[in-house]
Amino acid sequence: MKLLSIFLLSLSLSLFTNIVRSQESGELNTTDIYGDLSKYLSWPMSATAFSGDDLRMLNRADDRHLSELIPNFSKTDTGIGSFGDVVSIRGLTNTPFFSSPSVVQYVDDVPSGNVFSHTSSFYGTDKVEILRGAQSTLFGVNSYGGVINIESKRPSDRLESSITTSLAEYDAISITGTLMGPINESNTISYRLGISHFERDGFLMNPFLNTSPDFQDHLSYGGSLYFNPNDDLEISISASFDDFNDGAHRLTPLGQDPFTLNSDVIGSTIQESESLSLRVKNSGDAFDFLSVTYGRNWEINPYYFDLDFSPNPGSEATIIQSQESRGQEFRLTSKEGTKWDWSAGAAYNDIEVDGYTSRSFFIPLPPEFGGGFAPVTTTTDYTLKEESYGLFGQVSYNGVENFGFHLGLRGDTYDKSISRSAFGLSGPVPKIDESTDFSFISPRAGIDVELSDSSLIYLNSGIAYKSGGYSAFIDDPKLALFNEEKSWTKEIGLKKRWLDDQLRTNIAIFHNDINDYQVERSLVATDYAILNAEEARSYGAEIELSAEIFSGITLEGSLGSTNTELTKYIDPITGSDLSGNKAPFVPELDASIAANFKHDSGIFARLELIHQGEIYFSDQNDPTISENGYTLLNATLGYRSESGYEISIFGGNLTDETYYVNISPDIRAGTVGIPQMFGVRARWEY
């Protein structure tokens, strides 16, 4: 009854917005060479872009599920937002808890902070761009492995609105809505509002408590106010809020039914975030200027879970953590189409992470103390601070016909500190109060050749860094500090349109030589430290294609292969030689193939096959802590009317494949992937 009421409410809202219906929005600007959605598709780099309509057709609501369609891009899943997740592009990753991100996420020019604090879902989205490879000379935050750039729809000179709602198995329901338009007749002041709600029952079953513990309840909303006093200047204020009230994580012990959990702890995960930004953009005769001032707060309070996954009492953990970030970015960009194209910028960021953990369990007592077991509780309080400054820029010379020459340079400095106190099994642990700084220069160079109006070949090379820092879940000060990671990257690519633009391909080959590769490992249950592998390398290839087979039928596909090897690595804890091991969290192979059908009558359909190869979740390459690979089959069938109404049915994991999307080595438990699901979606757009 609750689902039906919400569905009818969304239908009523859509009918209300029909009263204020206006004309359809205009088309996106186009570019050359490969694709027409994003300017980066025609640049000498590996880039993929999706429109908001694409996301709905693909049934993708966040970047985790979108990664399935992008070569050499993956994201793990803890089942509780992004806390503990690892994002990998071409073998360059973050670690679950304490490293800087390799892949930076931007939402409307505002960086989202560390991966663990990402909560944004796609709603009111105009397009999503995924740039593979270091982009440190284009964006304010140092992007070591790549960038996810999300842009929201912008208001026009007329009122526009949309509502999308879906119902699926496990009592899953989602509702997203947007409303935007002018405030005054001259359209110098306009607004955009958006909201997204998602909830579902759990996939897991706990017979001991008779619950489905991993339920989810997500609410996100936000908006922007735009002031355009003239055609060249825009000032906007944006705010966004997320409220996630979830149950337990989706972890279950390995070696048993992954959908069954016999635990005495109900478990809970509550996350909140809020962002506020001021954006000023001015388009001048010689260059464009952009200023973004932002603040973002995120908190998980509490993350409460069972440590032993059993009905036995007394073994549980609580994590409370918050992140506050403040920053400022300036970017200057020349006008395109001249002999010299250039961009430059400066960035400042101030981040503070505060955390508290408690772990309660039983330990055996020696005979002289009467034997048996005694309850103990250990705690950790920590504060991690980071202050960073960056200068970046690049210049391109296009004065030689069909050739482009590119140079880029970035300088970064980081001041980092840790303040940590803990109470262990033997009493208070010596406090850690340390600080350090990191500074580095990142040069880049490239050349591209336009072989014809329909093909572009390019070569890029550069040095990129990911900052070092401190691990807070470790007692030994010598193991708390970890070094920065350095990569010498090389890439050669070809972008080509074939057969009068009936076939498009984007091919790239890459190689990274890496020093001090950062891996994170549990040394004692729930205690983690980042270790540095002295040398590593990552190499591979990727291809994306899009082909028009027949009128109304297109074929899309991607194939990525990454080999990331820890070539020189002596385990600093055990002294074992782990050289030659695969880096954790990096799939060796990923592939996707999809057929799309669109008829003039409005009927559309999509059938897609997704594959991910073997992936280890530990630097020690324990075969029992790995996923051997899996293949998923998804489908969508729907109808879209000329008036803006759309309805479709969809199915995910049609073969009901069982697979793991994350594994925690210390507790030998894994996050099972989403099971077979069917649903229906409706949308109204005006």
Q: Tell me the pLDDT tens digit for each residue of 87-132.
A: 999 999 999 999 999 999 999 999 988 888 887 688 889 999 999 9
pLDDT of the residue at 147:
95
Q: Which fold has domain 2-685?
A: Maltoporin; Chain A (2.40.170)
pLDDT grade for 12, boundaries at 50, 70 and 90: very low
Phi and psi at 3, nearest 5°, equal -65, -45
For position 376, what pLDDT does the model report? 85
Query: CA nearest 127: which of 153, 147, 160?
Result: 153
pTM: 0.90
639 has pLDDT over 60: yes
Confidence (pLDDT) at 501: 86
* CA within 13 Å, CB half, 188: 6
**Whole-number pLDDT of residue 531:** 95
C-alpha 119/C-alpha 83 separation (Å) is 9
Strands annotated E in 307-370: 316-334, 340-364
What's the pLDDT score for residue 27?
33
pLDDT above 70 for 369 = no
Each residue of 454-477: pLDDT tens digit? 899 999 999 999 999 999 999 888
Angle at 380 between CA 378 and CA 381, to 5 degrees: 150
The predicted structure's pLDDT at residue 34 = 59
What element of type H or E holds 671? strand 669-672
The DSSP-derived string for 567-620 is: EE-B-TTT--B-TTEEPTT--SEEEEEEEEEE-TTSEEEEEEEEEE--EESSTT
For the segment 528-552, the average pLDDT, to the nearest whole number, is 94
What is the band of 1 on the pLDDT scale with cuts at 50, 70, 90? very low
- For the cut 80, the answer to whether the pLDDT of residue 508 exceeds it is yes
DSSP reduced 3-state for 121: coil
Q: How confident is the model at residue 7 (pLDDT cuts 50, 70, 90)?
A: very low
The pLDDT of residue 17? 35
Q: Considering only CA atoms, give the Rg of the chain.
A: 25
The total of other beta-carbon atoms located within 10 Å of residue 666's CB is: 16
Q: To the nearest 5 percent, what fractions of the chain are helix, strand and coil? A: 5, 60, 35
Q: What is the mean pLDDT of the chain?
A: 90
Is residue 16 scored above 60 in pLDDT?
no
> Could you tell me which of 357, 333, 110 has the C-alpha nearest to residue 240?
110
402 token code pair:
């069909």
pLDDT, mean of residues 166-189: 95
Instruction: Give the pLDDT mean for 169-175.
Output: 96
* pLDDT, position 372: 72
pLDDT digit string (tens) for 409-423? 999 999 999 999 999
Two structure tokens written together for 537? 């390398």
pLDDT per residue as tens digits for the range 421-441: 999 888 899 999 999 999 999
Tell me the average pLDDT across 145-151: 94
* pLDDT confidence tier of residue 584, bands split at 50, 70 and 90: very high
Determine the pLDDT at residue 525. Answer: 60
